Amino acid sequence: MTEPKHLFIPGPTNIPDRVRRAMNLAMEDIRAPDFPELTKPLFHDLKTLFKSETGEIFLFPSSGTGAWEAALTNTLSPGDRVIVASFGQFSMLWAKMCRDLGFETEEWEIPWGEAFPLERLEERLAQPDAAGIKAVLVCQNETATGVASDVAGVRRILDAADHPALLMVDGISSIACIEFRMDEWGVDLAIAGSQKGLMLPTGLSVVCASRKALAASETAKCRRSYFDFAWHAGANKDGYFPYTPATQLLRGLRVSLDILAEEGIENVWTRHNRLAEGVRRAVRAWGLETCAARPEIASDTVTAVVVPEGIDSADVVRTAYHRYNTSFGVGLSKVAGRVFRIGHLGALDEVKILSGIAAAEIAMRDCGINLQAGSGVGAAIDYYRETAPAALAAAAE
């Protein structure tokens, strides 16, 4: 029996040893005079990670879903009109939260496998009542379908229409993995969670708020308490929190931010793209399709593989789990039984992802999917060899 299981789910992701060891420590005084020596650099370095100079970081002891609520309730008022494009489990749940919180929610139901519809936004903003739209919500990386959306494109359309809506981005499965530029893209509220690209346990969420979002929070009328920006900002400015912070997670975050900075965030993005492309080549070699409708919108952090007619994708996931100690993501909601998901984000390299591709192959064969053993692994190997940094350097000589 292999312990722990091989994890190829799109969160929680594998935790590097260095991060895990950094969290194995005695409890510490959260009001100690030197506590800010830990926390202030965390706020600073998180801003760097989000590519923001002017934004403000809020750190909550919650899963990513809490940060959704923080972003919404701090900046909007009940009855405000919001636009949410819903094209997977996570964007759909964010829309549900908007309704739960009492916003006038325009949920655009887009086929699962598609991305945020830029043209539709353009058309919507041209309508006479568009002035009433207070926020546009974009799930940058829809983890249920493996689709990435064009956040910069949304900003361009808002700017072209000179529209003041807040741009909120769920970056929970994209920030620290794929390109994200808070300031350059004019994102007003960007959201991340600890157990995905940050390679930490679940339990820490991050919101980066723009100046415009902070200004909105001064007049927003939604009731809020636990997630109140002002309450946090008051304590954060001195390096403390309004209530007990999860100190182990903060110690782990220190090391995960160090690891990301050592590699360089642009290199982290490139690595995710390269590993992901290997997985996509494998899927093609198997003769299967991804849930992502087009290659341009395929996510670099998770690939949802569509299984052939007559096969239950949950069977593949169960087989991998029981026979091969490997976890893949199941198909959620509308795509249950039709897709299984290979998570390829966080602390991964070629060898690890190749073992995941191999586990998918063996489990799919066990479940009666007719594919050539080694075909996916072989395609990925060829791609990784062609694009290996050493191979590229040699070719340049």
Ligand X SMILES: *Cc1c(COP(=O)(O)O)cnc(C)c1O
Give contact residues for ligand X (rule: CB under 6 A).
11, 63-65, 90, 139, 141, 143, 170, 172-173, 193, 202
Q: How many CB atoms lie within 10 A of CB 254?
A: 17
Provide, rounded to whole angstroms, the least separation between the CB of residue 94 and ligand X.
7
The CA distance from 241 to 232, in Å, is 6
Residue 64 or residue 376: which is nearer to ligand X going by CB? 64
Provide, rounded to whole angstroms, the least separation between the CB of residue 12 and ligand X.
9
Residues constituting the chain:
397
Provide, rounded to whole angstroms, the least separation between the CB of residue 73 and ligand X.
16
Residue 97 or residue 235: which is nearer to ligand X going by CB? 97
Nearest alpha-carbon partner for 276 in 314, 258, 302: 302
DSSP-assigned beta bridge partners for residue 60: 205
Provide, rounded to whole angstroms, the least separation between the CB of residue 130 and ligand X.
26
Number of Cα atoms under 13 Å in the Cβ half of residue 87: 25
Provide, rounded to whole angstroms, the least separation between the CB of residue 143 and ligand X.
3
Q: What is the dihedral of CA 47, 52, 53, 56, to 10 degrees?
A: -60
Q: Nearest to ligand X by Cβ — which residue? A: 64
Taking CA 396 as the corner, what is the angle to CA 391 and CA 397, rounded to the nearest 5 degrees? 105
Residue 329 or residue 376: which is nearer to ligand X going by CB? 329
Nearest alpha-carbon partner for 167 in 133, 138, 130, 129: 138
Q: Considering just the CA atoms, what is the radius of gyration of the chain in Å?
A: 21
Strand order in the sheet with 205-209: 56-60, 205-209, 189-193, 166-170, 133-139, 81-86, 104-109
Residue 202 or residue 355: which is nearer to ligand X going by CB? 202
Q: How many CB atoms lie within 10 A of CB 212?
A: 17
- Residue 393 class from Cβ within 10 Å (0-12 exposed, 13-18 middle, 19+ buried)? exposed
Residue 170 or residue 350: which is nearer to ligand X going by CB? 170
What's the one-letter identity of residue 197?
G
8 Å CB contact between 202 and 195: yes
DSSP-assigned beta bridge partners for residue 141: 148
Residue 202 or residue 270: which is nearer to ligand X going by CB? 202
Nearest alpha-carbon partner for 362 in 335, 336, 323: 323
Residue 187 or residue 369: which is nearer to ligand X going by CB? 187
Residue 292 or residue 311: which is nearer to ligand X going by CB? 292
What's the one-letter identity of residue 188?
D
Provide, rounded to whole angstroms, the least separation between the CB of residue 171 and ligand X.
8
Provide, rounded to whole angstroms, the least separation between the CB of residue 345 and ligand X.
9
Provide, rounded to whole angstroms, the least separation between the CB of residue 305 and ligand X.
17
Residue 144 or residue 285: which is nearer to ligand X going by CB? 144
Helix (H) or strand (E) holding 129: none
Provide, rounded to whole angstroms, the least separation between the CB of residue 263 and ligand X.
22
